[in-house]
Amino acid sequence: MTIKVWNYIKEYQDEKDEIFTAIKRVLDSGTLILGKNVSKFEREFSSYCDVQFGIGVGNGTDALFLSLKALDTGAGDEVITVPNTAVPTVSAIVSTGAAVKFIDVDPKTYLMDTAKIKKAITDKTKCIVPVHLFGQCVDMSKVSEIAIKYGLHIIEDCAQSHGAQFRSKKTGSMSDMAAFSFYPTKVLGCFGDGGMVITDDESLYERVKRLRFYGMEETYYSKEHGYNSRLDELQAAILLSKLSHLDEYISKRRNLAMQYDKLLAETGLTLPETMQGNKHAFYLYVVRHPHRDRIISELQKKGIIVNISYPWPVHLMPAYRCLGYKEGDFPVAEKAAREIFSLPMYPSLTNEEQKIVVNALIEILSGID
């Protein structure tokens, strides 16, 4: 038996009839681009997040890029974010022409260290992009307080936090705009690429809607330079079907996390820590150990495939040397990158499979001094 860090097959088999019904509905409709399914999913997902407006786009990277462009972010601006994130967070910022201003993270949650934001602010700062990493939210009360004081915008990177909450507020509802990814592995994932921008600001909503479609409001007539980034009707229909299961997915993830917490408590692994006031959605269950690479190798021999999110902070990658950072600039993020790894975590992971993972870890760790 091979147990992967993520596997959609059982979930797909359980929901196959619903998914095929959704696909057939699109194919029978005669509309394949920006039709009723996209519009309905935009309404229902933004409503789920307690926000008024949603704009379906091609992927999560575009969701962040278009949000930044809607705020006229570009050359001469700086955007504050963290180095321990997926490359798309940084790629989207760099693609606008703006400069990335990294700050380090909290050593327990790996979330943005909000105490470091003020020091990073300059007269060029345009926006703060807090990354709600692994399934829980940054302390948005502190981010908002700073943004208001200094007149900055906030765009939440919610690619990993569907359904998470901070002090009873849904992820994505605590900023000017929020960017979601529906990549297949996500808490709410489609069967391809997809993304969404959500906002309560009607003018930003209208602008992102133009930007995703060549700057057009009417066919063949561009009001401004735009892009081609549209959520597909087929993916929107699949996401609509899966949205009805989202709270169930999160509940199963949280139950699996509680079991991991209980079964791994005495192993010497550093287990995930949920920040006070957060409802963690557990997109990933991230543990930590100084002998990470040896543990991963031994697990692989036992047919257990885990993952590292992420093995390299973005500021140390060749593609982003141009940002001017070096090793040692963000010691918390850099040390975490050498030690963290993600255990199998998805709603259809069985109790039996989880126990196999746990028992393998206990055996491996017992042989490590």
Query: For 42-100, how does the pLDDT look when each residue is reduced to its tens digit (9 = 90+)?
Result: 999 999 999 999 999 999 999 999 999 999 999 999 999 999 999 999 999 999 999 99
Helix, strand, or coil (residue 281)? coil
Residue 228 shares a structural domain with residue 260? no
Between CA 134 and CA 155 the distance in angstroms is 17
Let me know the angle formed at the C-alpha of 87 by 304 and 56, rounded to the nearest 5 degrees: 100
Residue 235 shares a structural domain with residue 253? no
Residue 275 shares a structural domain with residue 140? no
- What b/e readout covers 93-120, taking b as 16+ CB neighbours within 10 angstroms? bbebebbbbbbbbbeebbbbbbebbeee
Residue 324 zone, left/alpha/beta (φ > 0; ψ -120 to 50; rest): left
pLDDT over 80 at 369, yes or no: no
pTM, 2 dp: 0.97
Tokens, residue 170: 């849904």
What confidence score (pLDDT) does residue 219 get?
86
**Which residue range(s) make up the domain with 339?**
246-366
Indicate the number of domains in the chain.
Answer: 2
| Torsions phi, psi for 147 (to 5 deg) | -60, -40
Residue 187 shares a structural domain with residue 79? yes
Helix, strand, or coil (residue 197)? strand
Q: Which one of 243, 277, 307 terminates a domain? A: 243
Residue 303 zone, left/alpha/beta (φ > 0; ψ -120 to 50; rest): left
Neighbours of 277 (CB within 10 A): 15
Q: DSSP class of residue 114?
A: G
Q: Which one of 243, 268, 284 terminates a domain? A: 243
Would residue 205 count as lying in a domain? yes
What confidence score (pLDDT) does residue 204 get?
98
Between CA 285 and CA 260 the distance in angstroms is 9
Q: Which one of 202, 221, 243 terminates a domain? A: 243
Tens of pLDDT, residue by residue over 290-339, are 999 999 999 999 999 999 999 999 999 999 999 999 999 999 999 999 99
Q: How many CA atoms lie within 13 A of 125 on its CB side?
A: 23
Cβ atoms of residues 194 and 58 within 8 Å: yes
Helix, strand, or coil (residue 180)? strand
CATH number of the domain that residue 306 is part of:
3.90.1150.10
Q: In the structure, what pLDDT confidence band is assigned to residue 24 with cuts at 50, 70 and 90? A: very high
Region 134-141 average pLDDT: 98
Region 28-43 average pLDDT: 97
Alpha-carbon separation of residue 195 from 71, 162, 325 (angstroms): 18, 12, 30
